[in-house]
């Protein structure tokens, strides 16, 4: 069993680290405070090739493996979860095309997504989040077009992305089997966007409603067969949720680094708090948990690279453990900072707020437990 990253993975990780330290870290507090969509960071990611990383080279991408991609997400998340969130949501818009897109769709959209166009993925509705198959958005076939009606909520990159993969019912009587997926470009008549939501954390990556009112989409924009949309969505999430685990590992590492520095400097009762065993043991537990989660994330990504038959449960385990681990780590990191950790002057309160979303999006912890247990039981 190989536990080390290879030379290419190591150099990509190093490059992501350098860009993060130079570009994203200095802007992270401003992005959080203002909630501005960090287009500068998106441009940096585009220039570094991150937007096209796992897109095959024949479609203009970098052709890199999932382990490398997860390393990039991890490194960016050490400083700015909003930026890594934009990247992860972009790949939610890319993956369905790689999984089920026609050759024409791949040739048309993947080169754009590898460079100038942000992607997004719209499945959630006000009454259909975890229970996504309960969606009400409809796509009625009229000749060579589908007419979409309904509203999606909480869509990351919504309004900023040039393209969205939208899931809608072509057969409202058939449950999950009645769902189909479509490429909808920004600017398509009948598609409008709601206001930018005001979030507790992860404040730079915007979420908006997508409102479809007789939005006409050409038949050639349907991804996969009619009725295959739900399967495509679930396969996409199997492939992408590991990267949310990578966000958790990176965020926890960022919080840990801040806590370790602080613990070495802050003196109480005549010595640095790191030398009080209660604090030293907290640091030991944090470092151990981060390492365990990192291994789960890399393993799930490696299984995906190896096109293993099974990785649905493994990617859910990586996301579940890493996200809940990051909760415990930010809690301890703030505790180590004492009262100062509660102040805006220190980055730890931002990590604390940002962390919470990792346990919710791309499937809550409860949904990950359902995925894992159903794989165990069947």
Ligand X SMILES: Cc1cc2nc3c(=O)[nH]c(=O)nc-3n(C[C@H](O)[C@H](O)[C@H](O)COP(=O)(O)OP(=O)(O)OC[C@H]3O[C@@H](n4cnc5c(N)ncnc54)[C@H](O)[C@@H]3O)c2cc1C
Nearer to ligand X, 203 or 299 (CB): 203
Residues 304 and 98: beta-carbon distance below 8 Å: no
Nearer to ligand X, 299 or 350 (CB): 350
Three-state DSSP state, 134: helix
Nearer to ligand X, 4 or 200 (CB): 200
Nearer to ligand X, 47 or 366 (CB): 366
CB 308 → ligand X: shortest distance, Å?
A: 25
CB 197 → ligand X: shortest distance, Å?
A: 8
Antiparallel, parallel or unpaired: β 119-122 and 163-169:
parallel
CB 42 → ligand X: shortest distance, Å?
A: 16
CB 92 → ligand X: shortest distance, Å?
A: 6
Closest CA to 156 of 365, 366, 367, 360: 360
Residues 305 and 65: beta-carbon distance below 8 Å: yes
Q: Nearest residue by C-beta to ligand X?
A: 129
Write b or e for each residue in 47-71: b if 16 or more Cβ atoms lie within 10 A of its Cβ, otherwise e.
Answer: ebbbbbbbbeeebbbbebbbbbbbb
Annotated catalytic residue: which of 23, 209, 359, 362? 362
The number of beta carbons lying within 10 Å of the beta carbon of residue 177 is 16
Nearer to ligand X, 157 or 253 (CB): 157
CA separation for the pair 341, 69 (Å, rounded): 31
CB 106 → ligand X: shortest distance, Å?
A: 22
Q: In the annotation, is 362 catalytic?
A: yes
CB 200 → ligand X: shortest distance, Å?
A: 9
In degrees to the nearest 10, what's the CA dihedral of 114, 225, 306, 248? 60
Closest CA to 243 of 67, 119, 17: 67
The number of beta carbons lying within 10 Å of the beta carbon of residue 39 is 11
CB 82 → ligand X: shortest distance, Å?
A: 10
Nearer to ligand X, 20 or 247 (CB): 247
Nearer to ligand X, 57 or 131 (CB): 131
Q: What does the binding site for ligand X look like in residue numbers (CB under 6 A)?
A: 89, 120-124, 129-130, 154-156, 199, 202, 207, 357, 360-361, 363-364, 366-367
Distances (CA, A) of 68 to 11, 53, 225, 246: 9, 8, 31, 11
Strand-pairing partners, residue 148, are 139, 215
Three-state DSSP state, 223: strand
Closest CA to 77 of 250, 244, 319: 250
Residues 114 and 52: beta-carbon distance below 8 Å: yes
Give me the active site residues, please.
362
């Amino acid at each position: 069993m190989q536990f080390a990253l290879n030379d290419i993975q190591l150099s990509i990780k190093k490059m992501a680290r350098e860009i993060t330290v130079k570009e994203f870290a200095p802007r992270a507090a401003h992005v959080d405070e203002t909630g501005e969509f960090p287009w500068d960071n998106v441009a940096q990611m585009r220039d570094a090739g991150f937007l096209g990383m796992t897109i095959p080279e024949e479609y203009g991408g970098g052709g890199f493996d999932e382990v490398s991609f997860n390393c990039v997400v991890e490194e960016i998340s050490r400083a700015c979860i909003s930026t890594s969130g934009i990247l992860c949501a972009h790949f939610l818009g890319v993956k369905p095309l790689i999984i089920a897109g026609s050759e024409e769709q791949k040739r048309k959209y993947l080169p754009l997504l590898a460079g100038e166009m942000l992607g997004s993925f719209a499945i959630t509705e006000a009454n259909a989040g975890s229970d996504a198959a309960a969606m009400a958005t409809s796509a009625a076939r009229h000749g060579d077009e589908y007419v979409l009606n309904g509203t999606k909520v909480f869509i990351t990159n919504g309004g900023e992305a040039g393209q969205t993969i939208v899931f809608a019912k072509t057969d409202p009587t058939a449950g999950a089997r009645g769902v189909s997926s479509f490429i909808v470009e920004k600017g398509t008549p009948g598609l409008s966007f709601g206001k930018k939501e005001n979030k507790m954390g992860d404040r730079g990556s915007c979420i908006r409603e997508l409102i479809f009112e007789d939005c006409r989409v050409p038949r050639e924009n349907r991804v996969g067969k009619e009725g295959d949309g739900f399967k495509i969505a679930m396969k996409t999430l199997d492939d992408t949720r590991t990267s949310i685990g990578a966000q958790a590992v990176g965020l926890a590492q960022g919080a840990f680094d801040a806590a370790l520095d602080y613990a070495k400097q802050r003196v109480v009762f005549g010595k640095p708090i790191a030398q009080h065993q209660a604090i030293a043991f907290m640091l030991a537990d944090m470092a151990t948990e981060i390492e365990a989660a990192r291994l789960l994330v890399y393993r799930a990504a490696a299984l995906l690279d190896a096109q293993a038959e099974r990785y649905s449960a493994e990617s859910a385990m990586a996301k579940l453990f890493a996200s809940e681990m990051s909760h415990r780590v930010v809690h301890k990191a703030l505790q180590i900072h004492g009262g100062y950790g509660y102040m805006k002057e220190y980055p730890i309160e931002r990590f604390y707020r940002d962390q919470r979303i990792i346990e919710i999006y791309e499937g809550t912890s409860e949904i990950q437990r359902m995925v894992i247990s159903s794989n165990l039981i069947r």
